[in-house]
Amino acid sequence: MQASQKLMWIIGLGFTVTLAALLFRVYATPKAVVEAEGSPVAGPGKLIAPDWRVGQAVTYETLTVFPLLSSQDADTSSFETLDAALASGDAVVTEQGEGMRRSRNGDVEPVPNYSSGAQVNQLVLINHGNRPLLLLAGEVVSGGKQDRIIGKDRIVPIGAKPLPLDVFCVEHSRWTNGNAKFSAAKTMVHPTVREQAAVEQDQSQVWAAVRGDVAAARERNDMASNLAVAPPRIASRQLSGVMASAAPTEGYRNIYQSAEVGPSVENFAQEVQKRFERATSGLKGEHVVGVIVAYGGEVAWSDIFASSELFDAYWPKLLRSYAVEALTRPATQEKASLTDAQDFLRPPVEHIREETEPGVYRWRERSEGRAAEIEIEALSPQALTLHWLKVLRTS
C-alpha cells in the first residue's frame, strides 16, 4: 500500500471510530440523564417553568422550608379560592340531602330534602359567584354533621349545577346536628393526613392518619434506625385526643385552638414566618410562588402555585399544617440541603393517570416509587396549571 493511501486509510478509520463513539454515547445514555444534563430542572405542565429558582433555606428546629422563586407571575385573578368564596357567600356547601332556595333578601339558603339523607363522604357545593373556584385536597370546611376535608383537587366552573363534592371526614364517630351550611375553616390538614386524601384517596387511611397510626409507625422506624435524637414534641395520638374533646363539628380546628397543642403550633408557625419573611424580603424581579418542605434530612413535600397571589392566599394555613407535621415528627440532626430540594423538583415518570372535565380542568397524577405528584390545570378562562403538589409518601 502506498504511503498516501495508507494515510487516508488511517484517517478514515479514525473518523469511523470517533463517529461510532459519539453515536454510542448518544444512544446508550439513558434519556433521563440526557435531559438532566441538557435542560433545567422541570416537571409537567405549564406551571413548571425553566426560570424557577430554589431560594435560601429557612430552618427552625426540625422543619426546613425552601421558597420557590420565579421571575414570572401569572395573572390568576380570574379564579377564586374556596375560603374566600365561602366567606363572601359566593359558594354554598351543605350536607347531601339539603335543597336550596333564595330567601327574601336574596341569599341562598338550604332547605331540607327528607327523601335523601346526609352522607359521610359527599357534600353539595354551589358556585353562584362570577369566578371558577379552586379546591385543594385537605382543605377543611366546617359545619354540617361534622367538619370534612376536600377529597381531591378540582375546579368548579361558574354557573354549574349543584355539585356532588367528594370529601373525607376526619372524625370516626362524631355525627351531630350542626349548622346546615358549611363555613370557611381557613385550615389545611397536616401532610400525613392530607397525603391520604390527595394521593391515596382512602377514607380508612385518612382515619388512620388522624389517629396517629401512620406517624407512630414512622416514629418507630426512625428510632429503630437511630435517625431520631428526640421523640416528637407533640405525640400524634395527642392530636386525636384533642379532636375528640372538641365542640360538635369542630374537631380538627381544635388542634389550633386547644390549650394542649395550640400554643405550640402557633409559636412554631410564627417563628418560621419571621425567618421566611427575612429570607424573601430582598427579592428583586422574583416572586415567591411556592415552597419545598423538609423534615430533618428528608425532603417530603411541596406546594407550588401559578402566582404569588395564590401562594399568599394559601400560605398561612399551609404553614400551620407544616408546623403540626414538624411537631409530631421525631427530632433528627440531619438537615436537607439545597441540592436535595432541587432534586425533589424532578418529576416522577413511572405511572401517569389523568382525569378531565372538558372545558373546565385537567387533573394529572404521576408517581414513581414513594414519589407522587398531582397538578390541577384550568382549561378555562385560560389554560394554566394553578397548583402543583409533590409528596414523598409515607406508605
Residue-wise pLDDT for 269-279, tens only, equals 999 999 999 99
Query: C-alpha cell of 388?
Result: 402543583
Kindly give, in sequence order, each residue whose CB lies less than 8 Å from that of residue 136, ignoring residues fewer than 6 positions away.
Answer: 82, 150, 153, 188, 314, 376, 387, 389
Share of the chain above pLDDT 90, in %: 52
Question: Is the pLDDT assigned to residue 383 strictly greater than 80?
Answer: yes
User: What pLDDT shows up at residue 230?
Assistant: 79
In this prediction, residues 291-307 reach a mean pLDDT of: 96
DSSP-derived 3-state class of residue 339: helix
In this prediction, residues 177-181 reach a mean pLDDT of: 70
User: What pLDDT shows up at residue 216?
Assistant: 59
User: What pLDDT shows up at residue 77?
Assistant: 96
Q: Are 272 and 63 in contact (CB under 8 A)?
A: yes
Q: How confident is the model at residue 304 (pLDDT cuts 50, 70, 90)?
A: very high
Q: Which residue has the cell 335523601?
A: 116
Instruction: Concatenate the DSSP letters of all residues of 112-155 into one string.
Output: E-TTS--BTTEEEEEE-SSSPEEE-TTEEEE-TTS-EEE-S-EE
Q: How confident is the model at residue 209 (pLDDT cuts 50, 70, 90)?
A: confident
What's the rounded Cα separation, in Å, for the pair 45 and 375?
8
Q: How confident is the model at residue 190 (pLDDT cuts 50, 70, 90)?
A: very high
Segment among 46-55, 281-290, 343-352 with least mean pLDDT: 46-55
Q: How confident is the model at residue 222 (pLDDT cuts 50, 70, 90)?
A: low
Q: How confident is the model at residue 5 (pLDDT cuts 50, 70, 90)?
A: low
Work out the angle at residue 254's Cα, subtended by the Cα atoms of residues 58 and 217, and round it to the nearest 5 degrees: 65
Task: Give the model confidence (pLDDT) of 142-169 as tens digits.
Answer: 888 888 999 999 999 998 889 999 999 8
User: What pLDDT shows up at residue 88?
Assistant: 95
Neighbours of 245 (CB within 10 A): 11
β-pair partners for 183: 142
User: What pLDDT shows up at residue 52?
Assistant: 87
Phi, psi of 16 (to 5 degrees): -65, -45
My answer on whether omega of the bond before 381 falls inside 30° of 0, hence cis, is yes
DSSP 311: H
User: What pLDDT shows up at residue 223?
Assistant: 56
User: What pLDDT shows up at residue 248?
Assistant: 55
Task: Give the model confidence (pLDDT) of 73-104 as tens digits.
Answer: 999 999 999 999 999 999 999 998 755 544 44
Instruction: Concatenate the DSSP letters of all residues of 341-393 into one string.
Output: HHHHTSPP-SEEEEEEETTTEEEEEEEETTEEEEEEEE-SSS-EEEEEEEEE-
Q: Quick one: which of 177, 325, 316 has its CA closest to 255? A: 325
Question: Is the pLDDT assigned to residue 324 strictly greater than 60?
Answer: yes
Q: Are 59 and 341 in contact (CB under 8 A)?
A: no
User: What pLDDT shows up at residue 337?
Assistant: 95
Query: C-alpha cell of 197?
Result: 386524601
What's the rounded Cα separation, in Å, for the pair 318 and 198?
15
Instruction: Concatenate the DSSP letters of all residues of 200-269 into one string.
Output: I--HHHHHHHHHTHHHHHHHHHHHHTT-EEE--SS-HHHHHHHHHTSPTT-TTTHHHH-TTTHHHHHHHH
User: What pLDDT shows up at residue 279?
Assistant: 95
In this prediction, residues 113-138 reach a mean pLDDT of: 83
**Of 194 and 49, more confident:** 194
User: What pLDDT shows up at residue 349?
Assistant: 84
* E strand or H helix at 99: strand 98-102
* Helix 236-244 × helix 213-224 angle, to 10°: 160
What's the rounded Cα separation, in Å, for the pair 17 and 194?
56
